[in-house]
Amino acid sequence: MYDKSQLMRGTLEGCILKILSEEVTYGYEIVSRLTMYGFQDIREGTIYPLLVRLEKKGYIISEFRPSPLGPSRKYYEITVEGEQYLKEFILCWEQVEAAMDCIFKREGGKKHEEAE
């Protein structure tokens, strides 16, 4: 069975940065947004190590803010370096997406249909 964890790890960094480019938010909200967008298997235990790594790289910053519903929450915000990295990620993603489409939707799809 295919293990998609390696594929997901790199992809999720770009997704997290995209979410943070739209708004400053906290970890649970990031997980909720990813789930809403179709990443059904994502859990907080997957996201928090990625947030730590992105912060160590200088792509995001964090700060604790008071919460109306209990203890303070750690909010994350994209940095200028993070915005640049996101632009590069999107360019690379578009190239990979185009290549995958060529293989699986055009050439690969026809050969797969013929085999059936």
**Alpha helix locations (H) across the chain?**
5-22, 27-36, 44-56, 80-100, 108-115
pTM of the model: 0.84
In CATH, the number for domain 5-115 is 1.10.10.10
Confidence of residue 107 (pLDDT cuts 50, 70, 90): low
Q: What is the pLDDT of residues 50-91, one digit of tens each?
A: 999 999 999 999 999 998 888 999 999 999 999 999 999 999
**Rounded CA separation 2/90 (Å):** 25
**Rounded CA separation 10/92 (Å):** 12
